Amino acid sequence: VERFTQTPEINFYEDMSTRLNKLLAEFKVLEDPRDRVMRLLDYSSLLPPLPQSQRITLNRVMGCTAQVWLIAKLGSDGRMYFGADSDSKITRGFCSCLISCLNGSLPEEVLKVKIEDLSSINIGVAGGANSRANTWHNLLISMQKRIRAILAKNSGKSPVEAFPSLLITAEDISSQGSFAEAQAKYLSPDASKVADLVDALKEKQIGAPGTFLHGSGGSGCSCSCQTGVATYPHFRFT
């Protein structure tokens, strides 16, 4: 039995932030995860399917459990327009939600959107929340990568994104490329949550081994180990 019969309202004449806030509010009132999934299926029904000619490897969004295809176009009005499709109805719903918020927005507006802006939607059921959070992230990152490629091409630069790389030193973590930027986020955890973990480990007298493998140029890791021993004496760094 369907829980919703009313079609989601999408007003493309509203600005992006207004549409995004309405989407967040719409899902926030749905406390039951099953209701949120059903609402996602409602959005899925609104998404026009891509023609078979567009469902090609070049347009694939990598990293999603389901197959997802995404196209992006910069209109003559200087605004971004997207099309997407998937072999999963739930994933089509994700695509529809994002497109309903981002379609017709300026490139710089879409580039400013962060995955944290969508976290309160919290769509998922037991065992599936992580994969669906990844879907949000992969879709948004892919949209932004396509925008950067279009802007680079229009300005005469190479549309190919730099090879993802991470540079880790004792003082800082720097990243190049959107994939590396996503990885770097997990290497810089919330300090308050780390402190809570440290307190819990101290209270329960639990240690945690940490191993770093490096060659002659691994001074950054060595410094990090020394800092770690001083800060977290119950951890064992080798």
Give residue 222's pLDDT. Answer: 43
* Mean pLDDT, the chain cut into blocks of 10 residues (238 residues total): 41 79 88 87 93 94 88 94 94 92 94 81 48 75 93 80 68 70 68 80 74 46 46 51
Quick one: how far is CA 46 from the chain centroid? Answer: 22
Length of the chain: 238
Q: Full-prediction pTM beyond 0.85? A: no
Residues recognised as catalytic: 64
d(CA 170, CA 219): 8
174 within 8 A of 167, measured Cβ to Cβ: yes
